[in-house]
Chains A and B, each alone.
Chain A
Amino acid sequence: MSPYVFTLLIFNLGLGTTMTFASSHWLLAWMGLEINTLAIIPLMTRQHHPRAVEATTKYFLTQATAAALILFASTSNAWLTGEWAINQMSHPLATSTIMLALALKLGLAPVHFWMPEVIQGLDLTTGLVLSTWQKLAPFALLLQVSSTVNPLILTLIGLLSTLIGGWGGLNQTQLRKILAYSSIAHLGWMVLIIQFSPPLATLSLLIYIIMTTSAFLTFKLTSSTTMNALATSWTKSPMMTSLATLILLSLAGLPPLTGFMPKWLILQELVKQDLPMLAFFAAMTALLSLYFYLRLCYTVALTSSPNTITMLTPWRLNPTQTSPLNPLTTMLTLALLPLTPAILALVIY
């Protein structure tokens, strides 16, 4: 891909998301989403691999469906109530359809099936963009409509996402699929809390983005996309692979790592809303996710797989895929929990 085209596409990727952020009118928000989708499509097929093309096709179809649903719902809302503003939706038909469409865009539980398939077809960098940046625009819309959506739908989607996100990842050996399921589970937590405390949901998204970035970048550093490759990857960068254990446990949400913070705050908020049983079930579904993270931990650093002599040498070479972002996000992934009060003060109050 020519660097000019690449720059143009990256610029449009940013333009789409910021347009959605900035708009208060459904039409503009929809347009931002479409620009966003259009811009990422050539980026996804950059490898020209048949799997990438297949993934792109699937992605395009789902995103186009979701965008069409959004357009349909916002138009019908305007038709029925005469209101185009995003945060003033009132008709239940429109809000439910919008919620479904946004769930499809974000890859939430009943309509999540495209997510693992698509991420599996992409390279790790594009997968990272897909599971971080591409979540932002739909999430911004979700934040604005969440107060009008039926709370039961939100809760069901959230709980189902955490459950499916944990369940689906159990039997996977492909890292990208596992990360996709982890994304589903994390977004489920955010949807659970979004009706009670939107800032908290934003904070969770932020923390999730930081954590998943370090996971993707670490896997990229060792160029591993399956558990087998991960098992032999410690020869490439022993330090990063031992940190990868902690990154994965942070994604699983174990204290004293950063990943515990959003879970803790979300559970606290749920209990504060007098929903302790919901909090309990959500916490239990986190155990399902923990299982596959734990399995990854076992392969990445806690066991040493049998190796040939030639496999043992790569640590002598400097890794080629380093990213300056990786140390930063890894530090944040591991050590943000003690800063919880400061972050709370910044984000929520």
Chain B
Amino acid sequence: MTYLVSLFLLGLIFGLVAVASNPAPYFAALGLVIAAGAGCGVLVGHGGSFLSLVLFLIYLGGMLVVFAYSAALAAEPFPETWGDRSVLVYVLFYILGVMVVVGWFWGGWHEACWVAIDELKELVVLRGDVSGVALMYSSGGGLLMLCAWVLLLTLFVVLELTRGLNRGTVRAI
């Protein structure tokens, strides 16, 4: 399990580096998906399986849309990959930065903060976070309403910003 979580952590870091190093949108979205998936894996490894499930679904749904959208917008004949020089410099820089930080914090700081949510570990479905969600559904009705309203508002805002070619905000000038 430790190896698995370490693998996820590495995946998270490399995914973030992959996004942050400014490749073409295709590859950036790919990196984002990797980072999201690996992050959810880390959460599962430490007892947040429900949370990670929700996150994974939302991220995957959102990321696929973004991926499709960015691919449609920026269809370049020769997209920049991580091997290209300009991107490679960023990749190396960020990796170096991560190594420096790792060197700085090497000494077991994670052991204090790295506590699982409850006693049950690993791949068990009924977890502590599930009971929190249940509590929110049973007594946090107002908050849920509000959350739904915010989602609706976000939809409005996005529609308002992107509607039509002539009347919307995002358009070619």
Direct contact of A and B (CB under 8 A): yes
A279: Cβ under 8 A from any B Cβ: no
> B169 contacts which of A8, A9, A48 (Cβ < 8 Å)?
A48
A45 with B153: CB separation less than 8 A: no
For A45, give the chain B residue with the smallest CB separation: B169
Whole-angstrom distance from the CB of A91 to the nearest CB of chain B?
A: 12
- How far, in whole Å, are A56 and B162 apart by their CA atoms in the complex? 14
Contact with A along B149-173 (1 / 0, CB 8 A): 0100110110011000001111101
Find out whether the CB atom of A38 lies under 8 angstroms from the CB atom of B154: yes
- Given A28-B143, A31-B146, A31-B150: A38 and B173 within 8 A (CB)? no
Please tell me which one of the listed residues A1, A19, A39 contacts residue B153 in the complex, with CB atoms under 8 A apart.
Answer: A39
Do A42 and B150 touch (CB < 8 A)?
no
B118 to chain A, nearest CB (A): 14
Alpha-carbon separation in the docked complex, A5 to B168 (Å): 13
Min C-beta distance of B172 to chain A, whole Å: 10
A201 in the interface (beta carbon within 8 A): no
Q: Select one of B143, B160, B173 contacting A50, CB under 8 A.
A: B173
Residue A86 CB within 8 A of the other chain: no
Asked if A38 and B169 make an inter-chain contact with CB atoms under 8 angstroms apart, the answer reads no
User: Are B150 and A38 neighbours in the complex by a CB distance under 8 Å?
Assistant: yes
Shortest CB-to-CB span from A132 to chain B, Å, is 21
For the complex, give the distance between the alpha carbons of A115 and B173 in Å: 25
In the complex, per-residue mask of B115-154: 1 if CB is within 8 Å of any chain A CB, else 0:
0000000000000000000000000000100110010011
From A28, A42, A50, A53, B157 is in contact (CB under 8 Å) with A42
Chain B contacts for A38, CB-based, 8 A: 150, 153-154, 157
CB atoms of B157 and A39 under 8 A apart: yes
Q: How far apart are A214's CB and chain B's nearest CB, in angstroms?
A: 30
A117 to nearest B CB, angstroms? 18
User: Are B161's CB and A42's CB within 8 A?
Assistant: yes
Assuming the contacts A31-B146, A48-B169, A50-B173, asked whether A12 and B153 have C-beta atoms less than 8 A apart, the reply is yes
Seen from chain B, the residues whose Cβ lies within 8 Å of a Cβ on chain A are: 143, 146-147, 150, 153-154, 156-157, 160-161, 167-171, 173
Given contacts A35-B150, A38-B157, A48-B169, 11 further A-B contacts (CB under 8 A): A9-B157, A28-B143, A31-B146, A31-B147, A34-B150, A38-B154, A39-B157, A41-B157, A42-B160, A42-B169, A48-B167
Complex A-B: 12 CB contacts under 8 Å:
A8-B156, A9-B157, A31-B150, A35-B153, A38-B153, A38-B157, A41-B157, A42-B157, A42-B161, A48-B171, A50-B173, A56-B169
Interface residues in chain A, defined as those with a beta carbon under 8 Å from any beta carbon in chain B = 1, 5, 8-9, 12, 19, 28, 31, 34-35, 38-39, 41-42, 45, 48, 50, 53, 56
